[in-house]
Structure 1
Amino acid sequence: MSVGIVSYGAYIPKYRIKVEDIARVWGDDAEILSAGLMVNEKSVPGLDEDTATIAVEAARAAICRAGVDPSRIEAVYTGSESHPYAVKPTSTIVAEAIEATPAMTAADFEFACKAGTAGIQACMGLVQSGMADLGIAIGADVSQGAPGDALEYTAAAGGAAYIIGSNESEMIAVIEDTFSFTTDTPDFWRREGMPYPEHGGRFTGEPGYFKHVTGAARGLMDKIGTSPEDYDNAVFHQPNGKFPQKVAKMLGFSKEQIKPGLVVPRLGNTYSGSCMMGIAATLDQAKPGDRIFATAFGSGAGGDAFSFRVTDRIDEVRDKAPKVEELLANPVYMDYAMYAKHKGKIKR
């Protein structure tokens, strides 16, 4: 039985802070940082926004884009590393808000920045087995970075949602296959009760990001007998602008192939929403028949790779919900003081 994307939606808060405004507070060189990270600014959640509200907005956009009856959604999975509750699922809030309750299953996923794509894989299994008509997988975060830490320059807010189904006439993209590569590599972590994550510094690249992204990507291409030349576009997890470009080159993908989905310079790293946001930006521009390769990465560590083939239905639904480019447009900029207030860095 085929399985694929029936619809997708994204949400990005309107607020932004420029890297130079963060650097000014900590006495860092903004030009060197921007050049090294290849990130110019990042999104910031509003005072009334969190992972749950972002997930709801993304899910509603996905439902609107394809006119999906929410009562058909029988699985709701929200992946995040900034769930608002330590004990209380985000996914039940989402399910209630999109009117998918009560006849459904819901759960929250955690696997750093690939928790959302793990949700896609779970939905694939449920709809292929016939246990669910449709499933929705969401990657959303209001990611954290300690004041003055390197993460503060990229940790952003946003999310993307994907409705997964098995009816070929409804699919905007067929999921040709998926492959995961996972090891116990503690390159990034946050202990219970700690407000900010810690990271292994130089170990984040190797043996973290590059080993697992290339392992998953090569594993999938070997599995289905494809090569970079078989794809029109590619998306890789975007912790910054440098890593996805470097790993694309390592794997044999060109700058032109990754350009449509490379949104991190104007968005920052939306963690669980990062790769999924890049896929959404790519679908916003894709043509019927295009093939898209994507690999998400989650610290801890693992990679999820996917091969998509876009169908004719993309042209019918694409313009019925906000595109990523529209969500990035007309930002409202804030200084560090307001940013710190929005992110709860100022404690009373």
Structure 2
Amino acid sequence: MVGIITYGAYIPRFRIKVEEIARVWGANAAEITGGLGVLEKAVPDYDENTATFSVEAARSALRRRPIDVADIKAVYVGSESHPYAVKPTAVTVGEAIGATPVMTAADYEFACKAGTAAIQTAMGLVSSGMMKYAVAIGADTAQGAPGDALEYTAAAGGAAYVIGNDDPIAVINETCSFTSDTPDFWRREGEDYPRHGGRFSGDPGYFKHTLGAAKLMMELRGTKPSDYTHAVFHQPNAKFPQKASQMLGFTKDQIKAGLLAPTLGNTYSGAVPLGLAAVLDVAKPGDRIFVTSYGSGAGSDAFDITVTDAILDKIDRSQGPSVEQMLSTKKYLDYAVYARHKGKIRM
């Protein structure tokens, strides 16, 4: 019965439209928007980063379901944009929510699936009996070089999950992974922006691993796509998750609640955690959720989740802003101000 005790999310209010980025670089906005399926993306404020996103998401989770923070014995933050090269984000989060000093903490990195890797670790610690609660977070201020294809989607945000076995609002029935050494995306130490293998990001990157993990999960559980109410896939853009879900046999209605990329962009490690949070915002007891993340380099984590009756009486979802509310609260920036927000212009 290990599962999600509570959850919270955070999305900054600033946005930039894809057409504004295209205007600056002389690109065809309609072609880019049509190709990616993304209209705009979230942008961090000047003083926001992965640490602040993680703290806000974790605090939101605890507002929704107050628990004794002394029982939180682990905090893990998955991201590829930790504010420090050497200093863990996780200890900042632990201190901010009052979980220190008796806890273990670590930062995770596996491109865009670091957050789901943190959830898997938290599951293991709880199911082994080592601790009552563990916090797993996926958050990013995604990076994309000026003018690069990544700049049109690299967004900001994240979500936090408290994992435990004390009346979970959603039980994680199974998790599995599919991993290989496929260098479709990378950033060397000291480089400001990541580089990517262009068309190889789709296949043998995203699709091979996403479909591999998804099919393995359904084999393990003896399920088929129609057994699930909702499905969430990693969304580097809006096209990839729609194509992957269609190839597997899921419908548009099944992925609708968790498909955020069109108005959020790609939040990297925060993408699947935020998509799952959006689903949990509207989920009902008995709903079954299929989740598959993807991280370049490369690997996918899949989860089979069942929502329980506890989502009605053990958690107050109104105590934290919903993903939909945060997506609806926005302020648009022009490219120059966006560049300042993202640190592309330096004094």
TM superposition shift of 1:321: 1.2
Secondary structure in structure 1 of the residue aligned to 2:293: strand
Q: What is residue 183 of structure 1 aligned with on the other side? A: 180
| Residues 8, 160 of structure 1: 8 Å contact kept | yes
Q: What is residue 323 of structure 2 aligned with on the other side? A: 324
Measured against aligned partners, the alpha-carbon deviations of 1:180-236 in whole angstroms (never above 9, x if no partner) come to: 000000000000000000000000000000000001010111011111011001000
Secondary structure in structure 1 of the residue aligned to 2:119: helix
The CA distance in 2 between the partners of 1:139 and 1:187, in whole Å, is: 21
The CA distance in 1 between the partners of 2:115 and 2:62, in whole Å, is: 17
The CA distance in 2 between the partners of 1:309 and 1:51, in whole Å, is: 29
The CA distance in 1 between the partners of 2:148 and 2:221, in whole Å, is: 41
Q: What is residue 59 of structure 1 aligned with on the other side? A: 58
Q: What is residue 38 of structure 1 aligned with on the other side? A: 37
TM superposition shift of 1:68: 1.9
> Normalization by structure 1: what TM-score?
0.98
The CA distance in 1 between the partners of 2:211 and 2:73, in whole Å, is: 33
1:238 to 222, 235, 240: 235
2:213 to 205, 216, 225: 216
Query: Does residue 137 of structure 1 match 2:140?
Result: no
Measured against aligned partners, the alpha-carbon deviations of 1:286-330 in whole angstroms (never above 9, x if no partner) come to: 111000000000000000000100011212322221110011112
Matched pairs, number = 345
TM superposition shift of 1:276: 0.8
The CA distance in 2 between the partners of 1:163 and 1:173, in whole Å, is: 11
| Residues 34, 40 of structure 1: 8 Å contact kept | yes
| Residues 63, 69 of structure 1: 8 Å contact kept | no
Q: What is residue 196 of structure 1 aligned with on the other side? A: 193
Q: What is residue 25 of structure 1 aligned with on the other side? A: 24
| Residues 39, 264 of structure 1: 8 Å contact kept | yes
Query: Does residue 206 of structure 1 match 2:200?
Result: no
The CA distance in 1 between the partners of 2:275 and 2:312, in whole Å, is: 19
Q: What is residue 300 of structure 1 aligned with on the other side? A: 297
Trace 1:1-348 onto structure 2 (pairs within 5 A): 2-167=1-166, 169=167, 171-316=168-313, 317=315, 318-348=317-347
Deviates most, 217-226 or 311-320:
311-320
Partner AA of 1:259 in structure 2:
K
The CA distance in 2 between the partners of 1:265 and 1:258, in whole Å, is: 13
Measured against aligned partners, the alpha-carbon deviations of 1:240-262 in whole angstroms (never above 9, x if no partner) come to: 00000000001110001000000
Partner AA of 1:124 in structure 2:
M
Measured against aligned partners, the alpha-carbon deviations of 1:78-110 in whole angstroms (never above 9, x if no partner) come to: 000000111100000000001000111000000
TM superposition shift of 1:347: 2.1
Measured against aligned partners, the alpha-carbon deviations of 1:47-98 in whole angstroms (never above 9, x if no partner) come to: 0101100110011111111112222111100000000111100000000001
The CA distance in 1 between the partners of 2:190 and 2:62, in whole Å, is: 35
Measured against aligned partners, the alpha-carbon deviations of 1:28-55 in whole angstroms (never above 9, x if no partner) come to: 1111111110000000000010110011
Partner AA of 1:216 in structure 2:
A
Measured against aligned partners, the alpha-carbon deviations of 1:131-164 in whole angstroms (never above 9, x if no partner) come to: 1110000001001000000000000000000100
Partner AA of 2:187 in structure 1:
R
Partner AA of 1:4 in structure 2:
G
| Residues 13, 46 of structure 1: 8 Å contact kept | yes
The CA distance in 1 between the partners of 2:70 and 2:193, in whole Å, is: 37
Deviates most, 60-69 or 11-20:
60-69
Partner AA of 1:123 in structure 2:
A
Partner AA of 1:128 in structure 2:
S
Unpaired runs of 5+ residues, structure 2, are none
Partner AA of 1:63 in structure 2:
L
Partner AA of 1:173 in structure 2:
A
TM superposition shift of 1:264: 0.8
